[in-house]
Amino acid sequence: MLTSEPPRRRGRIFPELTLSPEELARRKAEDEVFYQRCWAIFERLRPELIKEHYGWYIAIEPESGDYFVDQNKEVASKQARDKHPNVIHFLFGINETGVTGRI
């Protein structure tokens, strides 16, 4: 006697939350614009910061131009969130590339 298993359910858990390709492209474009604004501030500050704070982290809030530097990336992010709650900031490593981690 064979027991039949219920059919497997495949697909997204919440299909109503699927974004259209247009929405994904719009968000990607917005993210790139945000990154470029933060990168411009970082490029302007990097030469002076790299001398004294090499290997530290900088959190940048591009609307105000405020930035927060600390040895610990969580502390730099917290300083940015404390001063600008509910606003997204970008975190860079203070080095030649701006990368914050290792592969």
Residue range 30-46, pLDDT digits in tens:
999 999 999 999 999 99
Local confidence band at 3 (pLDDT 50, 70, 90 cut-offs): low
Confidence (pLDDT) at 27: 96
Residues composing the chain: 103
- In this structure, how many other beta carbons lie within 10 angstroms of the beta carbon of residue 36? 10
Average pLDDT of span 63-89:
95
Contact 3, 58 (CB under 8 A): no
Supply the DSSP string of 9-52, one letter for each residue: P-S-S-GGGPPPHHHHHHHHHHHHHHHHHHHHHHHHHHHHHHHH
Average pLDDT of span 82-102:
89
Distance CA 65, CA 87 (A): 12
Average pLDDT of span 66-89:
95
- In this structure, how many other beta carbons lie within 10 angstroms of the beta carbon of residue 60? 23
Confidence (pLDDT) at 101: 67
H or E stretch covering 80 = helix 73-83
Confidence (pLDDT) at 42: 94
Confidence (pLDDT) at 99: 85
